[in-house]
Amino acid sequence: MNTTANSISSFSQTLLRVLNPLIQLFYKAFNYNKYLAGTGFAAVITLGLFFLMVALISLGDSSIKTDNSRKLGDVIMPERDIDTLFDHVDKPEEPDEQPEDIAQPELDLAPLDGVDVSIPKPKTNFAGTGAFFRDGEYIPLFKVTPIYPRRAQERGIMGYSIVTFTITETGTVENAEPLEGFCGDPTNPDTIYRPCSIFNSAAKRAAAKLKYKPKIVDGKAVRVDDVPHKFTFILEET
């Protein structure tokens, strides 16, 4: 303990002896000009810090261990020739020559003596106007069942609707329009019908889906206007 105290005391005395001239110089400069003394003192401190940093950097570099590891060189694969299993591939053989055309057998087409081999030509005889199609009225080909209106079904209403339309040259239906509609029981011959329009829309939609064989006049299909059609709506008994 005494040895440590003595060491500290000796270091303090030595430091005072070293710094005492500088302190005296600073006092003299401060008494002469305080600004000049402050500038010089700052310069001394800055210089001391600079040398201290240089010393610390030197001590830090000496403590870093040297990297003694070996670095492997770049691996470069040498060029190699690729060996193939077949150096030469034989070309396919030429196809066999096609056989010559087989000669057709010669037929003796000379007429037979005494035998009549002629075929009589059919005689065409078109009667009437010479038309290929026979004239006739339009014929229904496709019948459509209309969808029962929900409101009429819920109320138990029955009846019928008459629709008029045009049958085109191709047998389709155009310009379908309701003509009249009545409500009543079609299964009861004593029922009294009253006018109503509850079935007209369903009958019009069903009429647009009808298909006919068109009317033929002079061998040509013609349009037929104002064709009436009746759709009857009857509820099934449950």
57-105 per-position pLDDT tens digit: 877 666 566 666 666 666 676 676 666 665 666 666 666 555 454 444 4
Largest CA distance in the chain: 171
Residue 19 has pLDDT above 90, yes or no: no
- Per-domain boundaries in the chain: 2-62, 139-233
Tell me the residue type at 30: F
Amino acid at 181: G
pLDDT digits (tens, 9 = 90+) for 148-198: 999 999 999 999 999 999 999 999 999 999 999 999 999 999 999 999 999
In whole numbers, what is the pLDDT of the chain averaged over residues? 76
Q: Which residues pair with 229 in a beta bridge?
A: 163
Q: Please, what is the angle between helix 2-32 and helix 34-63, to 10°? A: 140
Read off the tokens for 31: 């008494």
Residues 119-140, mean pLDDT to the nearest whole number: 56
Q: Which of 35-44, 63-72, 205-214 has the highest mean pLDDT?
A: 205-214
- Continuous segment of H or E residues that includes residue 225: strand 224-233
Sign of CA pseudo-dihedral 197, 199, 205, 211: negative
Compare 19 and 64 and report the one with higher pLDDT.
Answer: 19
Give the type of residue at 16. Answer: L
Query: Which amino acid would we find at residue 189?
Result: P
Which homologous superfamily does the CATH classification assign to the domain defined by 139-233?
TonB (3.30.2420.10)
The arithmetic mean of pLDDT across residues 115-119, rounded, is: 46
Q: What pLDDT does residue 166 have?
A: 96
Kindly report the pTM of this predicted structure. Answer: 0.44
Say whether 119 sits in a helix, a strand or coil.
coil
Provide the pLDDT for residue 25: 73
Q: Which residue is it, tokens 């070309």?
A: 91
Of the two residues 122 and 188, the one the predictor is more confident about is 188
82-85 own/partner pairs: CB under 8 Å, 24+ apart? none
Mean pLDDT within 108-126: 45
Give, as one character, the DSSP assignment of residue 138: -
